Amino acid sequence: MEDTPQKSPAPEQVILRMTSIGKSFLGVRVLRGIDLSATAGEVHAVVGENGAGKSTLMKILAGVHQPDEGTVEIGGETRSFAHPVEAQRAGVAIIYQEFNLLPERTVADNVFLGREPTRRGLLDRAAMDAATSRLLDELDEHSFGPRDMVKDLSVAQQQVVEIVKALSVDARIVVMDEPTAALAEHEVELLYRLIRRLQGRGIAVLYISHRLREVFDLADRVTVLKDGAHVATVRTSDVTTAALVKMMVGRELDAYFPPRADEAVIGEPLLTLRDAGNGKLDGIDLDLRAGEIVGIAGLQGSGRSSLAKAIFGAEPFTRGEITPTRPANVREGVAAGIGLVTEDRKAEGLVLNQSVRDNALLVTRAIGRGGRSHRSTAAVAALLEKVRLRPPRQETEVKYLSGGNQQKVVLAKWLTLAPKVLLFDEPTRGVDVGAKAAIHDLMRELADTGTAILMISSELPELIGMSDRIVVLRDGRVAGHLPAGATEEAVMALAAGAAGAAA
């Protein structure tokens, strides 16, 4: 795909060269013939739809998986890693897509896990603490220290620990698999600065993200994977966003977001909160009306998830006026026709070892609603058709589905309820571009049929593109309301509490 003859980097500068990598899981080919190289000081992005094989490729590099075919060369030497520790020793550090920390251990313990320094054969905790402190300082992170327990940290702070852990390895190659998924905008800025510093030190950074803006901000080159195959490697300066998306999904995506609701469609409030609060929220006033999508914006930890869980009944409101129902627990919420698409699909949304069918019927069965007809194969097939699951196989275990398809199953689960109010917490986090559009369409369709929708998203373009109205939270309180089509700056101003922010 590279049209312009490339100034090939001097041989000694090529730190990583992966050639013809192939990998199968349980007889299914996940990667075939992948080539990837990185030079010193380069940021090389890897993009592709969910399930394209990005993480698998990185895990091969990190020694988590062993390739079925192909070779990995580091610094010109062919290496094969039987265990992550061997990759570590070869200078590969990785921030995994999923959190990879022990909540019951301290920050320092986590950072040095597997590489604990010793003195005269005994653990040298002082050295661990000192080194961790130094790294935290380097990152300008002063909100916690090496002896804090990881479980007491916020999600963003935990991500910082992951980064420190990767930096503490004396690495030549640093892999970051969606490091920003859990970060707010200003934290992303910090990460950018950090990556620049790594670059300066001649470290090769492999960067995976679904947020194309970051790819263009950071990367020198980008490699596109699709269905486990190598599509192209191009210089970011030589390609446009649209072209990149086309390479990823294999077609052009015309409109990013479905049209907004017609004023006429928006109906009565289905849920009204007045001065509602609990341990994490206070003074919340909010109306959710039939046919409307309300976007909730806010920084990490501003209470967005708490709001959704409170409305749903999982962490109920303890005060305020909530009409028509104030669910005291999940079952009351569900009975009142409220559904919650949780932030963490795997941990909170799905029973991964069960079939698509069992997951889709979970809510129906839990509340014992609907007779036999709701549980029939035909009814479930219709449901899967509605959420556009591809292929709509009912007996597949959900753990074998891609992220986007998994999210569709979660949606199907709630649709059986014919919900009056549906709450979406980061519905497209880690979902690829194609599936994202499908989920957006579905949300709008639901609204059009009279469901009140609340949507939380950390991706401002998505939030702004989808919402009929935006409510910004700050420190568990409503910081302001914005109309459809507000600018990112307006949202950020409210969220961050900048002076003079208009309400």
Partner 1 sequence: MKRAIPIFLVLAGLLVAIAVANPYFLEPAGFLGFLKRVAPLAILAAGQYFVIVSGEFDLSVGSLVTVEVVVAARLIDGDEAMTWPVLALLIVIGLLVGLVNGLVTTKLRVPSFITTLGAMLILSGAVFLWTGGAPRGALSQGFRVFGREGVWAVLILLVAVTAAVLLMRADFGRTLIAAGDNERAARLSGVRVDRVRVFAFMLSGLSAAVAGILLGGFAGVSAQVGQSLEFQAITAVVLGGVVLGGGRGHVVAAIAGAFTLEALFTLLNLHGISGALEYAVQGVIIIAAVAAGGLRLPALRLSPSKV
Partner 2 sequence: MIALVANPTRAVYAALIATLAIGWALVAFDGGAFTLNDIVGIQQRSAALGIVAVGQTLAILAGSLDLSVAYLISLVSLVAAETMAGQSSNILTAVVVALGVSALVGLVNGVVITKLKVHAFIATLGVALVIRGVLDHLYDGPAGRVPVDFQQLGYARIGPIPVAAILWAAVAVAVWFLLRRTRLGNRIYAVGGDVEVARLSGVRTDRVVIAAHVLCSLCAGVAGLLLASRLGAGAPTVGTDGGYDLESIAAVVLGGTALAGGRGGVAGTVGGVLLLAVLDSIFNQLEVNSFFKDVVRGVVIVVAVAVYARRTGRRAS
Ligand X SMILES: Nc1ncnc2c1ncn2[C@@H]1O[C@H](COP(=O)(O)OP(=O)(O)OP(=O)(O)O)[C@@H](O)[C@H]1O
Asked whether position 302 contacts Mg ion by CB under 5 A, the answer is: no
Q: Are strands 14-25 and 319-323 parallel, antiparallel or unpaired?
A: unpaired
- Report, in Å, the least distance between residue 88 CB and partner 2: 5
- What CA–CA distance (Å, rounded) separates 158 from 156? 5
Part in contact with ligand X (CB under 6 A); list of ranges 119-127, 283-291, 395-403, 412-420: 395-403
Q: Which residue, 123 or 351, has its beta carbon nearer to partner 1?
A: 351
Asked whether position 61 contacts partner 2 by CB under 8 A, the answer is: no
- What CA–CA distance (Å, rounded) separates 242 from 227? 19
Q: Which of residues 341-370 bind ligand X (CB under 6 A)?
A: 343
Which residues partner with 481 through β-bridges?
Answer: 471
Q: Which residue, 145 or 301, has its beta carbon nearer to Mg ion?
A: 301
| Binding-site partner at residue 100 among ligand X, partner 2, Mg ion, none, CB < 5 to 8 Å by type | partner 2
Per-residue binding letters, 88-107, with partner 2 (x by CB under 8 A) = x-------x---xxxxxxx-
Asked whether position 28 contacts partner 1 by CB under 8 A, the answer is: yes
Task: Give the type of residue at 5.
Answer: P
- Report, in Å, the least distance between residue 28 CB and partner 1: 5
Part in contact with Mg ion (CB under 5 A); list of ranges 35-43, 50-58, 111-119, 127-135: 50-58
Residue 280 has, within 13 A of its CA and on its CB side, a CA count of 14
The angle subtended at Cα 334 by Cα 282 and Cα 416, nearest 5°, is 135
Per-residue binding letters, 91-110, with ligand X (x by CB under 6 A) = ------x-------------
Per-residue binding letters, 280-319, with ligand X (x by CB under 6 A) = x-----------------x-xxxxxxx-------------
Asked whether position 55 contacts Mg ion by CB under 5 A, the answer is: yes
Give every CB contact of residue 251 below 8 A, 6+ residues apart in sequence. none
Closest CA relative to residue 318, chosen from 309, 330, 306, 310: 310
φ, ψ of residue 40 in degrees (nearest 5): -60, 135
Give every CB contact of residue 89 below 8 A, 6+ residues apart in sequence. none
Q: Using CA of residue 377, residue 382, residue 388, residue 390, what is the dihedral sign?
A: positive
Asked whether position 165 contacts partner 2 by CB under 8 A, the answer is: yes
Q: Are strands 269-277 and 319-323 parallel, antiparallel or unpaired?
A: antiparallel
Asked whether position 468 contacts partner 1 by CB under 8 A, the answer is: no
DSSP tally for the chain: helices H, then strands E = 18, 21
Closest CA relative to residue 44, chosen from 185, 178, 254, 220: 220
Instruction: For residue 56, give the 3-state DSSP assignment.
Output: helix
Q: Which of residues 112-151 bind partner 2 (CB under 8 A)?
A: 113-116, 118, 121-123, 149
| Binding-site partner at residue 249 among Mg ion, ligand X, partner 1, none, CB < 5 to 8 Å by type | none
Distance from first CA to last CA of the chain, Å, rounded?
49
Q: Which two tokens stand for residue 356?
A: 């698509």
| Binding-site partner at residue 27 among partner 1, partner 2, ligand X, none, CB < 5 to 8 Å by type | partner 1
Q: Tell me which residues touch partner 1 (CB under 8 A).
A: 25-30, 51, 312, 314, 330-331, 333-335, 340, 342, 347-354, 358, 361-363, 365-368, 390-391, 393, 395-397, 400-402, 405, 413
Q: Tell me which residues touch ligand X (CB under 6 A).
A: 25-26, 30, 48, 50-56, 97, 154-155, 280, 298, 300-306, 343, 400, 402-403, 430, 432, 476
